[in-house]
Amino acid sequence: MAILKLIQSTESHPTADWIYAKLKPKYPDLSLGTVYRNLKKFCECGKIKSIGVINGQEHFDANIYKHAHFICEECGIVEDIDSSFFSKEDLSDVSDKYGIDIRTADIVFNGSCKKCLAKGTHSDKTA
């Protein structure tokens, strides 16, 4: 339960490692495997969702309502973009066109975040 609470208290789209590092001091018996198992369970029952693997680590989101994500290609930060780009009508248009049934659309934008832009290092990965 502490795991679920922690995810719901942050907007940072945490990874299992991040959650483990946060909870370990408080729960010395906690193992990374337990964190993974619980994350999987929460995903299955729809309490959280996985937003996929970014920079080699799976990120999780407690905001299960439809929203888009922005991922910075430089620092890997994940931000919520609070608007829907496809309406229900758009999705059913596409469904009709291809003879498929689209239920949701996960939209991910990639680029440089504010911080990285401010640093002005977006073409120089060594900085």
Q: Which residues in this chain contact Zn ion in the complex, by CB under 5 A?
A: 61, 63, 72, 74-75, 80, 113, 116
Tell me whether residue 30 or residue 107 sits nearer to Zn ion (CB atom): 107
Tell me whether residue 54 or residue 72 sits nearer to Zn ion (CB atom): 72
Tell me whether residue 58 or residue 80 sits nearer to Zn ion (CB atom): 80
The distance of closest approach from Cβ of residue 118 to Zn ion in the complex, given in angstroms and rounded to an integer, is 9
CA dist 97 and 28 (Å) reads 54
